[in-house]
Structure 1
């Protein structure tokens, strides 16, 4: 299974004036990175997800099960 089947939530924050990025399948902080543009948020989110997976693997912690949507 690919390690990158995790949800990435991107939403605009008026308070922060940027797009916030979170990974609902991972416990902890609701948001892990951000971007001034949507495209930057996607790029930063991808990098943050890769780092998060590496950190889990380095600590020996089991990766959470990804939420999977099924098409009708």
Structure 2
């Protein structure tokens, strides 16, 4: 495995607003009667990741394949 993959702005921080239950669900705590907690937490993470990626693409254009190796 190559641990030298380059992700532009990979060390920048992002902010995600989660409830305490959502945070607990992401750490592995199971809510047997409410699976929606984990689903909503993952959706929030995916939305922030997508928005960050989309913003980066608009600013910098596509990432050349060679930079990802």
Report the TM-score when normalising by structure 1: 0.41
Larger RCO of the pair (alpha carbons < 8 Å, separation 6+): 2
Counting helix residues as a fraction of each chain, which structure ranks higher?
2
Counting strand residues as a fraction of each chain, which structure ranks higher?
1
Higher radius of gyration, 1 or 2: 2
Report the TM-score when normalising by structure 2: 0.43
